Structure 1
């Protein structure tokens, strides 16, 4: 077993310094149903057959090994289990998807639209098959008992196909590049909407970009993942008040590719996210994996049509005034209606919603009964110097929405949110 080694991050690690002081993307947990997959991603249960004996490596060297990894070809199976501690999103997500339940509802939506389908990774256990051959060819498939959802990126073309509904989604040119997540990481191998991490590598990169003086990073021995020898990089907050206990990344000893990602909550219990490979091959995937022709009779939705439908039906964003992705998390901290309180793992975003209105209620007729049930299951009423409000909680991200329309959100405890609201009053 490799001897333990540690390093406290100080902003000097090459390849990660630029993003370390950027606050993480913040979202109101009522919008977790639509966005949590973008912040969190996937999860796998991986077999281990003993700890290999590997040469000593420092935390600094291992981080640099990840950053320097130039692996662009791989294929394999990823098992995903996400436990945010929120109600099942199945029925609710469908109800607020464009077109209503089932994704169409006669309104032109598609069950194959990646923006809708990726939300299912925010809860439960899923098996994925992935393949990548450079920055312009990737494939991701979500396997079900009797169906498969596949997302294929090849050059300027993106196809998504849902075998259960026999519906397809198609994007070309600039729209295809955006939907393929090309700007979110060319080597991540995830042809999905921008910002949605679907591999251990993409997840690890997000965590390491957020690391800084408030973070402890150590090398904690070795492991074997998917038949590969790996080092275990452990990242922990040095601050109190965070809901994150630790993040462990199993890094392939030969290639530097993260093979497994496990996020444990500070409160203990099972992992919130445990993502990794059960099988992996770094050889060139078969070219046929990146081609797709819709089967005869398939209903095809073009990206431009889907974009227009999204504008016509804002979905979960309608539950909170101004709670769309661009206003609650899609923009950089420091935007006109957002400021950041604190730093590092305990940072909290203070967001002033347009119109400074509080949470709509069933009594006012603004919220469907199913949505109100979802909100009630998440929320705790709180009071303080700031007045009163509701804390929406998950096992990772919590948010306080005050009755006068301010939102405090972060990967922090309820007490930390109340304290931040009081200090801002």
Structure 2
């Protein structure tokens, strides 16, 4: 939480991305009529456990240019773990660490190769012109490999069938299967949501129904979510989220090729290449996951001082940032080895933020097309897919 604006905005944006799979073929197939309730039931009843294919992700959140630099790293994927030489920065960990690498999905277009064989075997590879980054989950083993730096990252997690450890699997926002992605998105479909079937489409050569999900009123910045659902299997194939302000989709993710056959067993095997630098995750997984479970269901598990205000589309994350963690906070001077850095970041924050005042005091609003954040001068961050007025009201209410 040292640089609150990029971290807070990116954190919620990443949680939003976890809602998903865009790229629909032209054509509107003639399919039997179906109600929204029947289509939701079809999604829930889908028992497809094997899948592979190519996914294109395009994210247009309107993030400021300096946010891309917050991830750092010399990898073409912008990971925070390493420099151009492939030798990780001091204290920054491995260039292959998923927490660093997956932030690249917050901007631009990316091609992913995905495969899954049940809850214990998944593989996601992010393919770029010069390199490839792969994340492989096989049983209790998790490997990640960044070809640009020739670095690998290894972790051990409990198997999904282990008694009492179901919650201790890969993060909920792990981009493994589109089924899990769409199901998470549909959790927001409460009383303040309109759900309907809006025609048909062709996605990756498959016939699909289009499910349209829209918030009713409120302060949400989400205009509509459209999910293309495979007519035969009930598997979501495409996910498009459009902001209330209109324009291009903020998140557009979907299959360009898809196969429901069982992937080859070799897909989920990994051995570090010769000469690769391997970083072992030595954290206490049990303690880490216990903290995550206590933090709630928002997709922001593990953050200290996190409180979720409101519900459904109007949810706002309130994050209490420790004194001294924010550049220019009322904690006093920016001293020590980070002082110079803090001043530089503070300058960027000042130029990008909009000054606001209220019962809470004063602070700055930071806006994207989908996610807005308010950081108060006393070091509290309010962030969510809601409009700016909602953030100010939340801060005022917290101030009493």
- Give 2:212's aligned residue: 234
| CA displacement, residues 231-285 of structure 1 (integer Å, 9 cap, x when unaligned) | 0001100023211001000000000000000000001111110110000011111
| CA displacement, residues 159-203 of structure 1 (integer Å, 9 cap, x when unaligned) | 1111111111112343x87xxxx95798xxxxx644334543333
Using the TM superposition, give the Cα deviation of residue 99 of structure 1 relative to its aligned residue in structure 2, in angstroms: 6.7
Equivalent of residue 92 in structure 1, options 58, 70, 75:
70
- Give 1:217's aligned residue: 195
- Give 2:76's aligned residue: none
Structure 1 position 110 matched with structure 2 position 102: no
Structure 1 position 69 matched with structure 2 position 46: yes
- Give 1:402's aligned residue: 376
- Give 1:39's aligned residue: 16
**Do the aligned partners of 1:45 and 1:80 also contact (CA within 8 Å) in 2?**
yes
Structure 1 position 338 matched with structure 2 position 307: yes
Q: Alpha carbons of 1:85 and 1:283: their partners in 2 closer, same or farther (altered >3 Å)?
A: same
User: What is the SS of the residue equivalent to 1:289?
Assistant: helix
User: What is the SS of the residue equivalent to 2:148?
Assistant: coil
| CA displacement, residues 121-177 of structure 1 (integer Å, 9 cap, x when unaligned) | 111110000011122211110001021111111112221111111111112343x87
Using the TM superposition, give the Cα deviation of residue 418 of structure 1 relative to its aligned residue in structure 2, in angstroms: 1.9
**Do the aligned partners of 1:86 and 1:378 also contact (CA within 8 Å) in 2?**
no
Using the TM superposition, give the Cα deviation of residue 387 of structure 1 relative to its aligned residue in structure 2, in angstroms: 2.3
Structure 2: how far apart are the matches of 1:373 and 1:144? Answer: 33
Q: Alpha carbons of 1:280 and 1:329: their partners in 2 closer, same or farther (altered >3 Å)?
A: closer
**Do the aligned partners of 1:41 and 1:121 also contact (CA within 8 Å) in 2?**
no
Structure 1: how far apart are the matches of 2:201 and 2:176? Answer: 22
- Give 1:244's aligned residue: 222
State the TM-score, normalizing by the size of structure 2. 0.81
- Give 1:291's aligned residue: 269
Q: Alpha carbons of 1:173 and 1:383: their partners in 2 closer, same or farther (altered >3 Å)?
A: closer
What are the residue-to-residue correspondences of 1:76-225 with 2, within 5 Å?
A: 76-88=53-65, 89-94=67-72, 97=80, 104-107=88-91, 109-174=93-158, 193-225=171-203
Q: Alpha carbons of 1:338 and 1:364: their partners in 2 closer, same or farther (altered >3 Å)?
A: same
User: What is the SS of the residue equivalent to 2:194?
Assistant: strand
Which 10-residue stretch deviates more, 86-95 or 45-54?
Answer: 86-95
Structure 1: how far apart are the matches of 2:90 and 2:105? Answer: 25
Structure 2: how far apart are the matches of 1:281 and 1:53? Answer: 22
**Do the aligned partners of 2:21 and 2:182 also contact (CA within 8 Å) in 1?**
no
Using the TM superposition, give the Cα deviation of residue 290 of structure 1 relative to its aligned residue in structure 2, in angstroms: 1.1
**Do the aligned partners of 2:327 and 2:345 also contact (CA within 8 Å) in 1?**
no
Using the TM superposition, give the Cα deviation of residue 326 of structure 1 relative to its aligned residue in structure 2, in angstroms: 5.9
Structure 1 position 417 matched with structure 2 position 395: no
Q: Alpha carbons of 1:159 and 1:98: their partners in 2 closer, same or farther (altered >3 Å)?
A: closer
What are the residue-to-residue correspondences of 1:274-289 with 2, within 5 Å?
A: 274-289=252-267
User: What is the SS of the residue equivalent to 2:393?
Assistant: helix
Q: Alpha carbons of 1:260 and 1:196: their partners in 2 closer, same or farther (altered >3 Å)?
A: same
- Give 1:21's aligned residue: none
Q: Which runs of 5+ in 2 are unaligned?
A: 74-78, 289-293
**Do the aligned partners of 1:114 and 1:193 also contact (CA within 8 Å) in 2?**
no
- Give 1:14's aligned residue: none
Structure 2: how far apart are the matches of 1:161 and 1:116? Answer: 12
Q: Alpha carbons of 1:291 and 1:56: their partners in 2 closer, same or farther (altered >3 Å)?
A: same
- Give 2:365's aligned residue: 391
Equivalent of residue 302 in structure 1, options 261, 280, 283:
280
Q: Alpha carbons of 1:423 and 1:151: their partners in 2 closer, same or farther (altered >3 Å)?
A: closer
**Do the aligned partners of 1:29 and 1:397 also contact (CA within 8 Å) in 2?**
no
Q: Alpha carbons of 1:173 and 1:268: their partners in 2 closer, same or farther (altered >3 Å)?
A: closer
**Do the aligned partners of 1:199 and 1:275 also contact (CA within 8 Å) in 2?**
no
**Do the aligned partners of 1:185 and 1:202 also contact (CA within 8 Å) in 2?**
no
**Count of paired positions:** 371
Using the TM superposition, give the Cα deviation of residue 410 of structure 1 relative to its aligned residue in structure 2, in angstroms: 2.0
State the TM-score, normalizing by the size of structure 1. 0.77
Using the TM superposition, give the Cα deviation of residue 39 of structure 1 relative to its aligned residue in structure 2, in angstroms: 3.0
Using the TM superposition, give the Cα deviation of residue 92 of structure 1 relative to its aligned residue in structure 2, in angstroms: 2.2
Structure 2: how far apart are the matches of 1:169 and 1:306? Answer: 16
**Do the aligned partners of 1:139 and 1:289 also contact (CA within 8 Å) in 2?**
yes
**Do the aligned partners of 2:222 and 2:243 also contact (CA within 8 Å) in 1?**
yes
